[in-house]
Amino acid sequence: MNTHNSLKIVAFACLAFAAAVVVLGETGALHNGVLAGRQPIEFVVQLVMSVLTLLAVPVALRLMQTRTVRRKLRVRADSYGRMALLRWLLLWVPMMADVVCYYLFMKVAFAYLGIILLLAMVFVFPTQQRWNNETKQQDE
């Protein structure tokens, strides 16, 4: 199995896991609102998640264009898969934390942060065209 297919499998598995958590939360299988009403904890968690989201999106979107990554990919072409996986996880991990926080606090702000990260994932989803463009860019 090549790297491109592996990245797609990871991406779909991550999205399926996120969807499963949402389904469990919406059906009541998870304990919703356990931390609702705890203002100090909620404020700190929301602040941290907002900062993580604001940092993760531009870093993930520009990761392959940085000089350091381009130099690394020129030296080792097989490291593209790891960098693409890192880029995907930079968005997925905070999104999952936002989903969990949404169900813990039942605050829609966490859902909005998760939606922002989900929309950013559209621009880094591992497609064949993206793979070709980014690896071709490294050859030049």
Q: How far is CA 35 from CA 27, 46, 63, 90, in A?
A: 18, 12, 35, 26
What is the per-residue pLDDT across 5-28, written as a single tens digit (0 to 9) for each? 888 888 889 889 989 989 998 898
What is the per-residue pLDDT across 27-61, written as a single tens digit (0 to 9) for each? 988 788 888 888 899 999 999 999 999 999 999 98
Q: How far is CA 43 from CA 38, 46, 102, 105, in A?
A: 9, 5, 13, 10
Cβ atoms 84, 126 nearer than 8 A: yes
Cβ atoms 128, 65 nearer than 8 A: no
Alpha helices (H) along the chain: 3-27, 39-62, 67-75, 80-105, 108-122, 128-139
What is the per-residue pLDDT across 71-128, written as a single tens digit (0 to 9) for each? 777 777 677 788 888 888 999 999 999 999 999 899 999 999 999 999 999 998 877 7
Q: Which amino acid is it at 61? A: L
Residue, of 70 and 138, whose pLDDT is higher: 70
Q: How far is CA 121 from CA 43, 57, 68, 102, in A?
A: 26, 9, 22, 19
Q: Which two tokens stand for residue 82?
A: 């790891």
User: What is the structure's pLDDT at 133?
Assistant: 73
Cβ atoms 99, 107 nearer than 8 A: no
